[in-house]
Structure 1
Amino acid sequence: MLETHVLTFSINKPFEEWVTIYDSSASLQEAAGIQSLFRGVSKDDPTKVCAVMQAEAGVMEQFISGNAAMIASSGHILESTVSQVFL
């Protein structure tokens, strides 16, 4: 079943740096079966980001755990992530 993941998290780099790394991982995301629908920065807080993606059940968790070092190097503070999943 296709799941829509809404992730909010903090970053410790400017959004422009984070988004460059995020966008450069598009081929990795696609190869894993993840479709990125939206990524943006908070209007009120430049350290808060929202990313919306779709994938089959279990794919997102596997991708994040398998790519944690790369994700953290983007400036994404992993422990700040709040994940909501919608069907």
Structure 2
Amino acid sequence: METTIWTFSLNVPFATWAAIYDSEDVAKMHEAVGIKSIFRGISKDDPSKICAIQQAPIGVAQKIFEDNKEMIRSSGHIIESTVIRAYSDH
């Protein structure tokens, strides 16, 4: 299992992005590949900065990100701002 911490910027309000991230379609996509969303929230200092934490089998979260960049971009996520940190339990 791997825990992935994503930080990135938005070009839309957080509520707009969160509505897409929390949507049934995204939940089904995550469930189908074993991704569990642990947290998503805004920076206390800058509401355009986001942190999202997910757990999934090793490599799965980053593969979904790579395979779906255009859909992710359309949610307001600024792809070029993304910083990914992955942690393993072994």
TM-score band, normalised by the shorter chain? over 0.9
Partner of 2:62: 61
Letter in 2 for 1:10: S
Correspondence for 2:12: 13
What secondary structure, in the 3-state scheme, does the structure 2 residue paired with 1:17 have? helix
Structure 1 unaligned blocks of 5 or more: none
3-state secondary structure, aligned to 1:45: coil
Query: Once the two structures are superposed, what CA deviation does each residue of 1:28-83 show, in whole Å capped at 9, x if it has no partner?
Result: 11112100000001111010000000011121121011211111111001110111
Corresponding residue of 1:82: 83
The 3-state SS of whatever aligns with 2:22 is helix
Look up the match of 1:38: 39
The answer for unaligned runs of 5 or more in structure 2 is none
Q: Give the letter aligned to residue 48 of structure 2.
A: T
Q: TM-score with structure 1 length normalisation?
A: 0.94
TM-score, with length taken from structure 2: 0.91
